[in-house]
Amino acid sequence: MTRRIIQLLLGLPLYGFGISLTVEAGLGLDPWTVLAEGISLHTGLGMGWVTNLLGLVVLLLWIPLRERPGIGTILNILIVGTALQLGLDLLPPIENLWLRITALLGGIAVVGLASGLYIGAQFGPGPRDGLMTGLHRRFGWPVWRARATVELTVLALGWLLGGTVGVGTLAFALLIGPSVDVALRLLDTRRTPTPTASAATAT
């Protein structure tokens, strides 16, 4: 339990910080952050605070889908956007192209690691992930179809509102899955060590 709590409380702020790196890179964002940026441009609210509000709205959509949030779900809504906003407030502007590329790739790697930490803690999915699994359970959609439908819709809305879509958006889509997979292999608290790994640890 101690390990799970530590993973959760490390993973959520780290996730927000990783997203702030991709924002500062200015090369394109993941779909939900594109939407948050678009709303921010029209409301004057900080992107991090918009992210928190979007998480709350998405959580309300769980009700007709009969999904149940965990403590990790609630903390996700409170912490991720706050950490994103702090990151944006503290990080200096990045002008050099190679530094922007480094910030983008570093941000994706950090988000992958953070996802492994908080998902592996097993305290409930984030609100956006729960929406997709809820659509899967309620309507029988394959998870990939639910994710694609939601994220393409969100991306289109964000782009129409002025959010940044670019090569970074594609890079995020291609790299985040493998990054999370590697992190979960190491950090999922449900996994039982293999005999080889146990022996290696013992030695």
Neighbours of 6 (CB within 10 A): 12
C-beta separation of 38 from 162 below 8 A: yes
Per-residue model confidence as pLDDT tens digits over 71-129: 989 999 999 999 999 999 999 999 999 999 999 999 999 999 998 898 888 888 788 88
Neighbours of 89 (CB within 10 A): 10
C-beta separation of 55 from 76 below 8 A: yes
Residues 6+ apart with CB under 8 A from 39: 45, 50, 54, 158, 161
Distance CA 144, CA 5 (A): 29
Two tokens, residue 51: 């992210």
The pLDDT confidence band at residue 62, using thresholds 50, 70 and 90, is confident
Half-sphere exposure of 34 (CA within 13 A, CB side): 27
Closest by CA to 60, choosing from 48, 72, 49, 69, is 69
Q: Compute the C-alpha angle 179/111/92, nearest 5°.
A: 135
- Determine the pLDDT at residue 191: 60
